[in-house]
Amino acid sequence: MYSRQYFIELFSESDTDELLDRLATADLTDEANDAIHSVLRERGISNKELGSHILKAKKSQFRSTSPTKECDFCGKSTLFSVIRNEGQKFCSKNCLRNARLMEAAVDISEQEILNRAVEIKNGPCPSCRGRESEIEIRKSYWVWSAVFFTRWGTSPKICCKKCGVQSNLVSIGSCLFFGWWGIPWGLFITPAQIISNVAAMFRRIDHTKPSLELLQTAKLQLAEPLLGQQPNVPSKALHPTPQTARRG
């Protein structure tokens, strides 16, 4: 375990923006956290000012871009499809929208997010309006193949258990009809996606608290009115959480 003094000496060599980024994005020990606060106070940044600086640093992480061909939000390849916005690149309109929502959501407190997630969890199902089971983010797994081309991924849905099982059954049928026809990936991915759908049908839900995926969804929903209208940003997110997809 490194001491607080060790971290003060270490962080004294870092510039202010780097230290703010660490506070905003890194999982720090208490000693490291206290050391950064101490170094920043010595540089004239008061505790009152520090809060706004950290919020700004948290927002800036959703504005960064990489030199590679990967989406700046989900990390998927943008080789086949790219959407550019304010110097960034995204694989879909959904990722662009969610990146801007996550930036706006920095201003929302954790308690507000938790309250919204609990409200969703205990409310009616958005699909069937029923209340037979708790609402959660339930996933279905799909695959589609054509000779040497195979796509597969995960589709999240906010729904009750019954609607989630229906989605899994539909996905299993789709996998059986459309998954096998790709060489070689279709032959390997199809049974894996079918097994994933079966496992999802019997997945146990934690009744005591919302899942991380549901908290993420609650955060995005609360951020909607904060985002407002931005040029070239879709007016509505297409999925509750980022959808994963791959090609082979």
CA angle 203–209–215, rounded 5-degree value: 90
Q: Which amino acid is at 92?
A: S
In a domain, 88, yes or no: no
Q: Are 132 and 115 in contact (CB under 8 A)?
A: no
Whole domain around residue 48: which residue ranges? 4-60
> Are residue 56 and residue 174 in the same domain, yes or no?
no
Confidence of residue 248 (pLDDT cuts 50, 70, 90): low
Domain total of the chain? 2
pLDDT tens readout for residues 6-50 = 888 888 989 998 888 888 887 888 888 888 989 998 888 888 888
> Are residue 176 and residue 222 in the same domain, yes or no?
yes
> Are residue 136 and residue 222 in the same domain, yes or no?
yes
> Are residue 131 and residue 217 in the same domain, yes or no?
yes
pLDDT tens readout for residues 186-218 = 999 999 999 999 999 999 888 889 999 999 999
In a domain, 79, yes or no: no
pLDDT tens readout for residues 62-116 = 998 988 999 999 888 898 889 999 999 999 888 998 899 999 999 999 999 999 9
Q: How many angstroms separate the Cα of 192 from the Cα of each of 36, 42, 171, 172, 243?
A: 46, 56, 12, 11, 18
pLDDT tens readout for residues 139-166 = 999 999 998 899 999 999 999 999 999 9
